[in-house]
Amino acid sequence: MKQLLLRNFTFNPKDDILSGLTVALALVPEAVAFAFVAGVDPLVGLYGAFMMGIVTAIAGGRPGMISGATGAMAVVMVHLIQQGNEFGASLAEPVQNLGLQWLFITLLFVGGIQVLAGVLRLGKFVRLIPHPVMMGFVNGLAIVIFLSQLGMFTTVVDGESQWLSGAELWKMIALVALTMGIMFFLPKLTKKIPAALTAIVVVAALVILGNLDVSTVGSFIREGGGEGLKGGLPSFQSGIFDVLYTLEGNWDLILSTAFVLAAVGLIESLMTLNLIDEMTQTRGSGNRECAAQGAANVLNGLFGGMGGCAMIGQSIINVSSGGRGRLSGIVAALALLSFILFGSGLIEQIPIAALVGVMFMVVIGTFAWSSFRVIRKIPLSDAFVLVLVSAITVWKDLAVAVIAGVIVSALVFAWKNALMIRARKRLKEDGTKVYEIWGPLFFGSVQTFNSKFDLKSDPAQVEIDFMESRIADHSGIEAIKGLVNRYKQAGKELRLTHLSPDCIHLLLKAEPGLDSLIERSIDDPRYYVVTDTVDAEV
């Protein structure tokens, strides 16, 4: 047991430490940018990234996966914070930054919901996500990451954002290309050092020693209205208990936002876990990840972070750089905190171009290029789902895209199965007519099932053989009940044969009166093979 825990903690200390440092450097502009999106101070975003990172690295369900402040959740927070600030300004005794206090309170509920999801073992539902949804998700995500980096090719002039031009643009492109070149060619020479960290260090040294005038982490923060990276340790937010009186009449906003944030966070985290599982050919625990995400968000609410969830881009950077153990996530979180406490001056000198280059390589590695090859070889419905999920991820957000993809896939599956039900008809020597049903009986196939029977022409004795069929839901039960009643009213006897034990249990639980119509004395050896298999599966 001890050996297993140690293996989960770290695969390779050197790789975990170096990849963790790489991730920490890339986390800085991401956390700052998402803080600006949400409308909070950059330090709130950085604290959020630290607390999410450290808790999920230690207690999460996927060693090597990175969590922090994310854009998907930041977008949801905007309305809550704006409403809180407006409400605070309208009070007889105005409360400044009330929106931020409301966010911290909301995160307590977000964390509680996510912990509950872990306790109730809802993480297993990630298995219901079809492969086309997964491919569409990673493609859409790659496009979103790419588009988010384009904002780094702008500058603020007289309070307005403008695209870089002339020498500034070419310097930016050259440094991005250099970063990508190092990350592409270095692994071909040696894999002993992480390419991403090497690229960042080389490009940063070139800019600092060459005294090049380019956008840096420090200038990026100041352009967004922040004062810098330097700060202290996160502190307990006792102020949230002083503003509870402002929530009277606003609980609906708090709770609705909490449920949306919890859902977005869980979906993105579980999708990331699934993706990293595929990349590493290992399996994480979705339920444990749900609980860890929740605990981290509660900690954010209590100690002044903006909350978050798993970060797909950073997780891919970590795994690609060799970070497979929990140590990599712990190092990333502690390094980020160290930057805030001690290394702000040095980190602020890192050129944005180096971090953009790293993220561009993440885009290339994330995008499922094989989808172009397989899209003509897979069913049209799967191809549609793939494109739909990609488009909605870019247009709306990840949670909506995944939910839409799963719903469309489920409807397509239900429609196809609804068309599969068949009825073979034969007569026994004693004149009994047998309907041999093939295919599942559920809400989608009920109408077709009912159309197979010829009540007027059928003899007095009729059997329905369920050897090749199963009753799946309440609609199927009602279809059987309705059929029994129609034959009874016509003065004819209907028998049900070859029902599996679980189907019998389902029917009798809903309608005990059907017991007399179920034939249990079966002499067909195929029946026992089928029911034994079903029992084993159940």
Are 369 and 512 part of one and the same domain?
A: no
Distance CA 71, CA 140 (A): 14
Distance CA 84, CA 82 (A): 5
Give residue 249's region: left, alpha or beta (phi > 0; psi -120 to 50): left
On whether residue 63 sits in a domain, the answer given is: yes
On whether residue 402 sits in a domain, the answer given is: no
Are 381 and 483 part of one and the same domain?
A: no
Domains held by the chain: number: 2
Distance CA 328, CA 318 (A): 7
Are 382 and 433 part of one and the same domain?
A: no
371, 391, 411 - which closes a domain:
391
Q: Which amino acid is at 391?
A: A
On whether residue 350 sits in a domain, the answer given is: yes
Are 342 and 461 part of one and the same domain?
A: no
What per-residue confidence (pLDDT) applies to 172? 95
Distance CA 142, CA 366 (A): 6
391, 411, 433 - which closes a domain:
391
Are 15 and 136 part of one and the same domain?
A: yes
Distance CA 251, CA 234 (A): 27
What per-residue confidence (pLDDT) applies to 529? 42
Q: Which amino acid is at 481?
A: K
On whether residue 7 sits in a domain, the answer given is: yes
Are 368 and 494 part of one and the same domain?
A: no
On whether residue 404 sits in a domain, the answer given is: no
Q: What is the largest CA-CA distance in the chain?
A: 99
Are 290 and 179 part of one and the same domain?
A: yes
Distance CA 62, CA 274 (A): 9
| Segments forming the whole domain that contains residue 276 | 2-391
Are 372 and 432 part of one and the same domain?
A: no
Are 361 and 428 part of one and the same domain?
A: no
Global pTM?
0.74
Q: Give ∠ CA 207-211-214 in degrees, rounded to 5.
A: 60
On whether residue 410 sits in a domain, the answer given is: no
Are 263 and 122 part of one and the same domain?
A: yes
On whether residue 28 sits in a domain, the answer given is: yes
On whether residue 310 sits in a domain, the answer given is: yes
> What are the φ and ψ backbone dihedral angles of 203, each rounded to 5 degrees?
-65, -40
Beta carbons of 355 and 25 less than 8 angstroms apart: yes
Beta carbons of 337 and 76 less than 8 angstroms apart: no
Are 377 and 515 part of one and the same domain?
A: no
- The CATH number given to whatever domain includes residue 479 is 3.30.750.24
What per-residue confidence (pLDDT) applies to 394? 86
Which residue's structure tokens are 């795994």? 319
The residues with which 441 forms a beta bridge, in sequence order, are: 471
Q: What is the pLDDT along the chain (538 residues), one digit of tens a residue?
A: 344 444 455 568 888 999 999 899 888 877 887 787 788 888 999 999 999 999 999 999 999 999 999 877 887 898 899 999 999 999 888 988 899 999 999 999 999 999 999 999 988 777 778 889 888 888 887 888 788 888 889 887 777 778 999 999 999 999 999 999 998 999 898 877 778 888 989 999 999 999 999 988 888 888 767 677 788 899 999 989 999 999 988 999 999 999 989 988 998 899 889 888 888 888 889 999 999 999 999 999 999 999 999 998 889 889 988 888 899 999 999 999 999 999 888 888 989 899 888 888 888 887 888 888 888 889 999 999 999 999 998 887 777 888 899 899 989 988 888 888 999 999 998 999 999 999 999 999 999 999 999 999 999 999 999 989 999 999 999 999 999 999 999 999 999 999 988 899 999 998 898 888 998 765 554 444 444 443 433 3
Are 51 and 125 part of one and the same domain?
A: yes
Give residue 138's region: left, alpha or beta (phi > 0; psi -120 to 50): alpha
The residues with which 155 forms a beta bridge, in sequence order, are: 162
Cα dihedral across residues 79, 85, 88, 90: positive or negative: negative
Neighbours of 256 (CB within 10 A): 12
